[in-house]
Structure 1
Amino acid sequence: MSSIWLNGEFLPADKPALLASDRGLTLGDGLFETIAVKAGAPLRLEAHFQRLRSGADFLGLSVPLADNVLADAVAGIAGANGLPDAAVRLTLTAGPAPRGLPRSATLAPTLLLTVGPLPGDLPPARLIIATRTCRNEHSPLSRLKTLNYLDSIVARNEAQARGADDAILLNSRGQVAEASAANLFVRLDGHWLTPPVTDGALPGTMRAALLKAWGAGERSLLPVDLDRAEEMVLTTALGIRPVSAVSG
């Protein structure tokens, strides 16, 4: 039987995990991280935990366990489900509370780990540029991996309706920000570039690794820059996916 990990305890996956009053469910009050595990070893854990704690500090949440305990839990949930190669989702919420926006003086945060198989290689992605929504680069939440992904869902639904795999979100100035759930790297004039965080790009863990490994640069990009790209890839914590076309 598959398992989940909830607040330090392994439970059957079919056991109800969240209370109906949990603010993560009712208000999206929380954060998450998606962590790749290969051969039983979680990848880039330090970067994931640093981003989680930074986001939690901004939102006024506490991460109730130390990094070493979380690291053991991430590896443990993959092992408990017989998945040496896995995608582990770590979800942190503000926990159960009465209805309404104000938080109570005492919070009991929820920490939940779930797991699935690590996706295999995907075919090159066909992208569109989203027209139904955009990325708000002025919001500090654009830099956090929050539980609210509605803009991304709207963009992905538009992509599917138009026969594409994913959508590029522009920011309020018409600059390229990212895809619906991935960072974007573009090769121009022999150099890899990616939009800066100030343009609305999420500070992804794979993004940070490739900035260093590829010697890539951060630069504002416009849709016209995509037209002359020599190469393009989408990056997530789980891997790198080449892009075959943008808007045909």
Structure 2
Amino acid sequence: MPYCYFDGALLEESKAHISIHNLGLQRGFGIFDLFRGRSGKPVFMEDHLDRFDRSQAFLGLDRIISKEEIRDAVNGLQEWNGFRESAYRLMLLGDGSEAEARLKPLFYITQTDLSLHTNPDSAGVILYEYVREYPTIKSINYLTSNHLHRRKMEASAVDVIYHSNGLISEASRSNVFIVKDGAVKTPGENILEGITRKHVLSFCGEIAPCEVGDVTLDEFLEADEIFISSTLKEILPIVSVDRNRVGDGRTGAITDQIRERFLDYLHQ
């Protein structure tokens, strides 16, 4: 049984329990973050902790979970679980009574073994008109994405691409990039600024012209190449949208270069 970090202590996951009266559970009032562990070491952890801090500030709980506490907990989990390849999930729920002026935090971390995790070589997506209520934070509210789960499965799709007023924003669990006429573009508004996205943008310009800005739905549908980025998917080529082929239906040359460069980047 793997260990977790729960409310200030390391313990077996089977011994961690949340009250049925927890406000975060009842009201969906909470945030999370997720980062990889590779060869027993966390990847981009400081970037994720910075984003977690920003999300914590939004919740306005009565205590901020410090980066030092999280680092110590991550080190403890790695020592106890010993996973070579893993995913750390930071969870923060508001706990207490709605009558209180400020709520206390219920914080925990789980570590999942990813030794058998693999990504497909390419995938399809579906479109849905929607903008998340608070797109700049990593909220636990995935109601819309989960509502569309059956539609995704029927379309053999890996994710849902959100759009509104003729503009693409993000996928339900990923950031979106398009390639057109040799140039890369990714939306900059109404998105969660992904950590993988951040690092792709740091080197993308060395491979192709790269721009952050509005991506219209028409541009998206007419793109030569599309890929999405996330912690677990990393760089995933998208070859179909609503079962319609993207480009020639194969992974594009620029996407391939970006994916290869990102994998090299992880091992620097």
Query: Residue 56 of structure 1 aligns to which amino acid in structure 2?
Result: Q
Runs ≥4 residues deviating over 4 A = none
What is the RMSD computed on CA atoms of the aligned residues? Answer: 1.9
Query: Residue 236 of structure 2 aligns to which amino acid in structure 1?
Result: R
Query: Residue 153 of structure 2 aligns to which amino acid in structure 1?
Result: Q
Query: Residue 100 of structure 2 aligns to which amino acid in structure 1?
Result: S
Quick one: percent identity of the two aligned structures?
Answer: 27
Query: Residue 193 of structure 1 aligns to which amino acid in structure 2?
Result: K
Q: Pick from 134, 141, 153: which aligns with 1:160?
A: 153
Does the alignment pair 1:169 with 2:165?
Answer: no
Does the alignment pair 1:213 with 2:213?
Answer: no
- Taking a change above 3 Å as real, the CA distance of residues 232 and 63 of structure 1, as seen in their structure-2 partners, is farther
Task: Write out per-residue CA displacement over residues 5-61 of structure 1, whole angstroms, 9 at most, x where no aligned residue.
Answer: 102211111124212222221111111001111112111122111111112112212
Task: Give the 3-state SS of the residue equivalent to 2:157 in structure 1.
Answer: coil
Give the match for residue 185 of structure 1.
Answer: 177
How many Å apart are 1:106 and its aligned residue?
A: 5.1
Give the match for residue 243 of structure 1.
Answer: 238
Question: Within 5 A, what are the aligned runs for 1:1-248?
Answer: 1-61=1-61, 64-95=64-95, 97-98=96-97, 102=98, 104-105=100-101, 107-118=103-114, 119-130=117-128, 133-136=129-132, 139=133, 141-171=134-164, 173-196=165-188, 198=189, 200-215=190-205, 216-238=210-232, 239-247=234-242, 248=244
Task: Give the 3-state SS of the residue equivalent to 1:167 in structure 2.
Answer: strand
Query: Residue 149 of structure 1 aligns to which amino acid in structure 2?
Result: Y
Task: Write out per-residue CA displacement over residues 157-193 of structure 1, whole angstroms, 9 at most, x where no aligned residue.
Answer: 322233322221112x131111121111111221221
Query: Residue 122 of structure 1 aligns to which amino acid in structure 2?
Result: P
Aligned partners of 2:178 and 2:227 also within 8 Å: yes
Task: Give the 3-state SS of the residue equivalent to 2:215 in structure 1.
Answer: coil
Query: Residue 134 of structure 1 aligns to which amino acid in structure 2?
Result: Y
Query: Residue 39 of structure 2 aligns to which amino acid in structure 1?
Result: A
Task: Give the 3-state SS of the residue equivalent to 1:143 in structure 2.
Answer: coil
How many Å apart are 1:126 and its aligned residue?
A: 0.9
Greater relative CO, 1 or 2 (CA 8 Å, sep 6+): 1
Task: Give the 3-state SS of the residue equivalent to 2:14 in structure 1.
Answer: coil
Size of the alignment, in residue pairs?
A: 236
- Taking a change above 3 Å as real, the CA distance of residues 115 and 125 of structure 1, as seen in their structure-2 partners, is same
Aligned partners of 2:60 and 2:102 also within 8 Å: no
Aligned partners of 1:158 and 1:167 also within 8 Å: no
Task: Give the 3-state SS of the residue equivalent to 1:94 in structure 2.
Answer: strand
Aligned equivalents of 1:183 and 1:35: distance in 2? 15
- Taking a change above 3 Å as real, the CA distance of residues 232 and 103 of structure 1, as seen in their structure-2 partners, is farther
Alignment TM-score, normalising by the size of structure 1: 0.87
Query: Residue 148 of structure 1 aligns to which amino acid in structure 2?
Result: N
How many Å apart are 1:63 and its aligned residue?
A: 5.2
Aligned equivalents of 2:197 and 2:63: distance in 1? 24
Aligned equivalents of 2:40 and 2:138: distance in 1? 24
Alignment TM-score, normalising by the size of structure 2: 0.81
